[in-house]
Structure 1
Amino acid sequence: MDFDFDADQKAFIKEVREFLEDVRQWPDAADIMCPERESDSILADTPARKRFNRELARRGYLGLSWPREYGGQGRPGIYEYLLNEELSRVGAPLIGKGVGCVGQTLIRHGSDKLKSEFLPRILKAEIEFALGYTEPHAGSDLAALRLRADRVENGWMLNGQKMFTTSAHFADWYWLAARTDFDAPKHKGISLFLLPMDQPRITIHPIETMGEHVTNQVFLDNVFVGDDYVVGELNKGWLYICEALDYERFTFYTFSPLEEKLKALRALLSAKADDRRAIADRPHVRRRLARLTSEVELSKMLQRRVVHAASQNRVPTIEAAMCKLYSTSLHQRLADFALDSLGLDGLLHKGDPKAPAVGKWEWSYRATALDTIGAGSSEVQRNIIARRHLDLPLRF
């Protein structure tokens, strides 16, 4: 397989980089481009970041791979990957759940009403979504979800709780999985709904994690949703969720932040202070830096395999699982190595003026644990690889 980019793709990368250089001149550029931001760097969760996404939309960067009939450009999906790589390299918000998980699923499975209502607003960056999957008793085993959707006249009544819903504290609409058939096998009785987040019977409790990522508990108490806002066919939500998660693993876990982290750490450890020997001059540090450099290149190759699979019109389920499992673990190994090498100074919080790299690595140590959970935990990725690639039994 050829991992090199063709002339058109290289020209696109150059175009995006020139656009981002222009953004650096904006008065609020520091809020938009935050490569040091370990948590939530992919989100459009501030007015400046939302304005940036609207500029992405104005320039035609949203919906690159959507069919032209829905307002997209009909370009290969690799262009969205290339765009997200450049955005994540500088710590800018990515193109988001609307264009990816939500928009792609609506294009494939949504009704004409849902397509006409949501797709144009997504392309204009006018709307933010939260994904309501995880529950207190249904984390990695998502099919065990219990949130009830009971049939009522002209729609459904929702009751239950969701957990760890990123974006719920600022999202406009909820992309929600609920159980609609209580007698069917657990994978067969799930449906997807769209509902506005500002309803009075939806209660949101923000939770700040150890990595300073804000997630949420969401409680739904007799929340009505009409039949028009059921996504696709009833009781086929599990299929749609799996498709969306494959897309999320592909687009959200980009390679460039790993590359930039390694460059920054190498520069930090190579710097000399007060005529003392640089940390990187120590033999054991040099060996580990060399090892991590090779591992970052391996992560790049795993990501390229995902891109290649997608370019062959395959859903890159196995490739995405391998890439997600390896790269998120590597982020942790980089943070571990940084703290080991920096010694006690590395433990200083980013609020301490004496913290190396403004506390980047202490924050990274706390935040990277979250990446091994989001979009399917490491255990889930191992199960996917074991069952779908190695043909191992479910229990072994």
Structure 2
Amino acid sequence: MAMELTETPERLAFVEAIRDFARRECGTREQRAALTAGGTESHSRLMNDKIASLGWSGVALPEEYGGAGGGVTDACLLLEELTYGRVPVFGLGISMIVAKTVERFGTEEQRHRIIGGFCRGEVSSVAMSEPDSGSDVASLTCRARRTDDGYVIDGQKTWISCAHYAERIQLVCRTDTSGPKHSGLTMLEVPTDADGLTIRPIETLGGREVNDVYFTGTRVRAANVIGTEGQAWTQLTAGLNFERLVCAAIFLGHARRAFEDALEYVNGREQFGRPIGSFQVIAHRIADLATELECCRALVYDVARRVDADPERQLPREASMAKLKVTETAKRIAIEGMQMMGGAGYTTEYEMERHLRTTIISTVFAGTSEIQREIIAKAYRR
């Protein structure tokens, strides 16, 4: 579906190559089960390494750091198609966000090491949320105290995706408590094998995807600051276009797959002597979902093109619209897909129950739907 929104023969060939890879590597339930420990893990190191070896991981990153020199549109195509193809590389999108942050704010040494490592298959995680700091990120209290040669970190982060298989964590912590809550925040690179760092899984509907992360006297060098000390809030805001488009592209892929699985079922399942998809109540539901899906695709790639045309331009309204619309639609498609499939949609014999478990949380993480609506609404206040 995404091919109609691409503009060049190179992008058409790129999409076809991703689809061929997904069919070959993850085309059967048996393959996917083997790669995800029976569906309990969302990231396969094997698949991630293969994608890196093909040169795809760094598609939107500069060539001088090991990337392919493409744009945000190319990143969206990659993430959408990998997700649609059910390739289990959940850590890829998060690592891409970290790499883009380092590209914008990191030192040359950090760019070569972190971006280069990502392009070779390394995984990064992001740690912002805390037990008492969720949507109000600026209220976080995890503290990094400055020492002669670096920082000592103490505190807890929670709901941290990918930390259990990441090489590093991009930590947002407080280095100064003297000013307003949006000031005094700093980004630090923390290796996951650092002393005093403990990662504990949080069991969820989706399997093992998120973690509690504890810092107890964890030391990092002064050179591990990403950007400028005390300026993490400004740096986070600058990266929101990309972060929200990454999320939107991933869940556009989920939405497409859930829709096609539902469509295949209703066209094959017969009741009262004909396919249930031929009954008006089902046919109209399919029509509505297909229309919503097309709207999502158009929105994601319109915003991606705008970012590519002017990478420094902030698009808070449009990027939030993309994240809001796609995740809400993906969740709706999974819920309605399960309803159309009846009991079959609830069983593990079919993958609709997995789609539901995956999409149900999409409207919560990376900025809840409520937060996205508030950001959008601000653009219309007088």
TM-score, normalised to structure 2, is 0.88
Deviation at 1:148, TM superposition (A): 0.9
Question: Which residue does the alignment assign to 1:114?
Answer: 110
Question: Which residue does the alignment assign to 1:339?
Answer: 338
Residue type of the partner of 2:133?
A
Q: What is the distance in 1 between the residues matched to 2:34 and 2:242?
A: 24
Q: What is the distance in 2 between the residues matched to 1:272 and 1:117?
A: 53
Question: Which residue does the alignment assign to 2:279?
Answer: 282
* From 101, 107, 118, the counterpart of 2:97: 101
Cα RMSD after superposing both structures: 2.8
Question: Which residue does the alignment assign to 1:227?
Answer: 222
Q: Is the 8 A contact 1:299 1:323 kept in 2?
A: yes
Deviation at 1:10, TM superposition (A): 1.5
* From 47, 54, 63, the counterpart of 1:59: 54
Question: Which residue does the alignment assign to 1:7?
Answer: 9
SS in 1 for 2:295: helix
Determine if the alignment matches structure 1 residue 146 to structure 2 residue 141: yes
Question: Which residue does the alignment assign to 1:377?
Answer: 368
Structure 2 CA distance for partners of 1:151 and 1:299, relative to 1, 3 Å: same
- Unaligned stretches of 5+ in structure 1? 351-357
Deviates more, 1:235-244 or 1:294-303: 235-244
Question: Which residue does the alignment assign to 1:166?
Answer: 161
Question: Which residue does the alignment assign to 1:123?
Answer: 119
Deviation at 1:22, TM superposition (A): 4.6
Q: Is the 8 A contact 2:240 2:316 kept in 1?
A: no
Question: 1:78-103 deviations in whole A, cap 9, x for unaligned?
Answer: 22222222211111126725752221
Residue type of the partner of 1:110?
G
SS in 1 for 2:130: coil
* From 365, 377, 381, the counterpart of 1:386: 377
Residue type of the partner of 1:124?
R
Question: Which residue does the alignment assign to 2:198?
Answer: 203
Q: What is the distance in 1 between the residues matched to 2:334 and 2:242?
A: 27
Question: 1:325-361 deviations in whole A, cap 9, x for unaligned?
Answer: 1111112222222333344x146442xxxxxxx2433
Residue type of the partner of 2:112?
S
- 1:303-342 maps to which residues of 2 (within 5 A)? 303-313=300-310, 314-342=313-341
Q: What is the distance in 2 between the residues matched to 1:347 and 1:23?
A: 25
SS in 1 for 2:351: helix
Residue type of the partner of 1:272?
R
Deviation at 1:276, TM superposition (A): 4.4
Structure 2 CA distance for partners of 1:21 and 1:145, relative to 1, 3 Å: same
- Unaligned stretches of 5+ in structure 2? none
Paired residues, what number?
373
Identity %: 27
Structure 2 CA distance for partners of 1:150 and 1:77, relative to 1, 3 Å: same
Question: Which residue does the alignment assign to 1:354?
Answer: none
Deviation at 1:169, TM superposition (A): 1.7
Residue type of the partner of 1:378?
S
Q: Is the 8 A contact 1:149 1:158 kept in 2?
A: yes
Structure 2 CA distance for partners of 1:346 and 1:91, relative to 1, 3 Å: same
Q: What is the distance in 1 between the residues matched to 2:27 and 2:374?
A: 46
Determine if the alignment matches structure 1 residue 217 to structure 2 residue 207: no
SS in 2 for 1:220: strand
Structure 2 CA distance for partners of 1:327 and 1:318, relative to 1, 3 Å: same
Q: Is the 8 A contact 2:247 2:323 kept in 1?
A: no
Structure 2 CA distance for partners of 1:95 and 1:141, relative to 1, 3 Å: closer
Q: What is the distance in 2 between the residues matched to 1:390 and 1:51?
A: 46
Deviation at 1:198, TM superposition (A): 2.0
Structure 2 CA distance for partners of 1:81 and 1:214, relative to 1, 3 Å: closer
Structure 2 CA distance for partners of 1:209 and 1:98, relative to 1, 3 Å: closer
Q: What is the distance in 1 between the residues matched to 2:156 and 2:93?
A: 21
Residue type of the partner of 1:336?
I
Q: What is the distance in 2 between the residues matched to 1:77 and 1:105?
A: 13
Q: Is the 8 A contact 1:321 1:384 kept in 2?
A: yes
Residue type of the partner of 1:377?
T
